[in-house]
Structure 1
Amino acid sequence: MGDFKKISPIEAAHLFINKYFPNCQGAVLAGSVVRGEGTDTSDLDIVVFDKSLNSSYRESFNEFGWPIEVFIHNLTSYKHFFELDYKAAKPSMQRMVWEGIILKDKGIIQSIKLEAKEILDKGPDRWTEEIITTKRYFITDVLDDFIGCKNRAEEIFIANTLAELIHEFVLRTNGQWIGSSKWIIRALKNYDEKFTEEFVDAFDTYYKTAEKKKVIHLSEMILEPYGGRLFEGFSMGKAK
């Protein structure tokens, strides 16, 4: 990482922008270090806006004592990523921009931040009854696999899939953003801390002891308000 000791994230981010993007119109520092959730392995996430670019790209660096991941956009390309993240119900780009600490601004950052905030406040599109029915079927199918499986190695990865499906179902049926990896737990906590504790406890118990009861109960509990498990009679793609 060169000859630099690990300086503060904001100082490192300013030095980085001055070195690599001195003519950009704006830049923000985002990610875990901004939220006070940084760890020894955290990197710096920096979003750059440069009107001279034809298209967006991302690039990784080791500079000023920090691993740095930079997301570079012109003054319109970021809108495409806002739309992609909105459709996926995982607004990572919007969060980076809204939460980001301004490193440089030639009069464009505040309006982009407000765009991001408007999307975050709106939330994802509500699931239709058809989507909810389909998701009930998929959860039921994976749950049945989980209950019947006798192979520990296979069971572990069925449980992983079930955890993702449960988190998605609970959040999307309640009009909330979802996550992936560590953001699964963060998204759940943002919605309902008590449920998150039950969710973590159920899967933690299973992974430690191979006891399935809590995971089964959790799965059935979240499906119950929408009609419970679904298998017989489900159809998808059949011509009417």
Structure 2
Amino acid sequence: MDPVPAARALVAELFPDALYAFLGGSALTGRRTSRSDLDVVVVLDGLGVPYRESLRWREWPVDLMAHNELSLIAYADRDLAGRLPTLPRVCAEGVVLTDRAGRAAEVQAVMRERLSAGPGPATPQMLDRARYVLSDLLDDLAGATDPGEQAFVRWQIVQESARLALTVAGRWHGSGKWLLRELRSYDAALADELLAAHDDPVHLAATATSVLERAGGRLWEGYRADGDPFHQRLRHLTSGDLTSETAQSSGMHRLAAVSGRTAGSGKLWMGQTHVAPSTRSADHHHGASETAIYVVSGTPSFVFLDPGSARETRLDTKPGDYIFVPPYVPHREENPDPDQEAVVVIARSTQDAIVVNLPDLATYWRR
């Protein structure tokens, strides 16, 4: 049976109310084998907890990834941040199986755009770490006397060489067979050379060294990765140090206090938001950040869509109250008071103030 009709029948039978669904992976390519499974992503309205399940449907093995619209974004962001775009590839390169919501094409366009942009350049620290790991493995190979240990080291050198070459080139990584596919897509000659050299330690060392030269050469002696969190200075930021150079939304004014730029924070952003009397902010969300809000003055309201009813829900607050905003939840702030400005202090779980402005609360994919 053809994989596309089979996957469509699976979704129709098991998830008749799916918002949209995709089929991707090897089953759609010339690499399909008798054991290729159906990689199916199904997006469900109101799914509380996303899950991944391996199952057999009729004669097909199925790798099922079930999401709601927010978790699909969150998991795609996680994959892309790790340079392993498994979920985005299934969506971007796959076949649309159903689209009751009319948003599948838009989701695919966003995923394709993000994939085509690449993972971006590696940081110097990332490159140094990769160079060190491969250099250390080459030393292990040179000194290995146990045939079993040497076999394991050789295979790890093949993989680390592939990852380093892809990292230097600003290309996506992969795991297992997908690492080889990514490398072949970027540099087929290098992929062939690494495979041919796997059983020849001298050839393999020369090939891995050539990859290291692309990244700046071997690095072992003198490599240092600072990891001392105990001997640092406190940072004092006064009210005059607050800066408007941070992400903004219409209808409100954000001031950054603690951030990677202002204080060197690695996992935290903190600042203030001011909303003028009788004003509402644009609808927005904060990406992967968890956000905590403390009301300093005024009576601001926080508006979001209830996940059960999709109706606007309003939380009215007063000074001393707190609000927690989970990652990716679209919301807005309103100040109904005609006379008094509303001021809140905000803390976020990322060192940058991620702000994604939206046309409305029901829009998740327009960025």
Q: TM-score, normalised by structure 1?
A: 0.90
1:218 is matched with which residue? 207
1:30 is matched with which residue? 24
Q: Which amino acid aligns with 1:160?
A: W
2:191 to 193, 196, 201: 196
Pick closer, same or farther for the CA change 1:102–1:127 going to 2, 3 Å. Answer: same
Deviation at 1:55, TM superposition (A): 2.4
Separation in 2, partners of 1:18, 1:128: 45
**Residues 125-164 of structure 1: matches in 2 within 5 Å?**
125-164=120-159
Is 2:37 aligned against 1:43?
yes
Matched residue SS, 2:69: coil
Is 2:180 aligned against 1:185?
yes
Separation in 2, partners of 1:84, 1:184: 18
**Residues 1-240 of structure 1: matches in 2 within 5 Å?**
7-106=1-100, 107-203=102-198, 206=199, 211-237=200-226
Q: Which has the higher contact order (CA 8 A, sep 6+)?
A: 1
Separation in 2, partners of 1:36, 1:167: 23
Q: Which amino acid aligns with 1:224?
A: E
Matched residue SS, 2:31: coil
Deviation at 1:8, TM superposition (A): 2.0
Separation in 2, partners of 1:43, 1:157: 28
Pick closer, same or farther for the CA change 1:45–1:227 going to 2, 3 Å. Answer: closer
- Root mean square deviation of aligned Cα: 1.5
Moved more, 129-138 or 68-77: 129-138
Q: Percent identity between the aligned chains?
A: 31
Q: Is the 8 A contact 1:98 1:113 kept in 2?
A: yes
Q: Which amino acid aligns with 2:92?
A: W
In structure 1, runs of 5+ residues without a counterpart are 1-6
Deviation at 1:72, TM superposition (A): 0.7
Deviation by residue 1:68-91 (Cα, 9 ceiling, x = unmatched): 121111111111111111111111
2:277 is matched with which residue? none
Q: Is the 8 A contact 1:34 1:99 kept in 2?
A: no
Deviation at 1:130, TM superposition (A): 2.7
Deviation by residue 1:169-195 (Cα, 9 ceiling, x = unmatched): 000111001111101210001101122
Separation in 2, partners of 1:160, 1:151: 15
Q: Which amino acid aligns with 2:218?
A: R
Q: Which amino acid aligns with 1:219?
A: A
Moved more, 54-63 or 74-83: 54-63
Separation in 1, partners of 2:154, 2:204: 8
Q: Is the 8 A contact 2:209 2:217 kept in 1?
A: yes
Separation in 2, partners of 1:121, 1:44: 24
Separation in 1, partners of 2:139, 2:167: 22
Deviation at 1:115, TM superposition (A): 1.5
Pick closer, same or farther for the CA change 1:176–1:59 going to 2, 3 Å. Answer: same
Separation in 2, partners of 1:179, 1:198: 18
Which of the pair is proportionally richer in helix? Answer: 1
Deviation at 1:200, TM superposition (A): 1.4
4+ long deviations beyond 4 Å: none
In structure 2, runs of 5+ residues without a counterpart are 232-367
Separation in 2, partners of 1:232, 1:73: 47
Larger Rg: 2
Deviation at 1:148, TM superposition (A): 0.7
1:3 is matched with which residue? none
Matched residue SS, 1:76: helix
Pick closer, same or farther for the CA change 1:238–1:32 going to 2, 3 Å. Answer: closer
Number of aligned residue pairs: 228
Deviation at 1:128, TM superposition (A): 1.9
Deviation at 1:238, TM superposition (A): 6.4
Q: Is the 8 A contact 2:165 2:214 kept in 1?
A: no
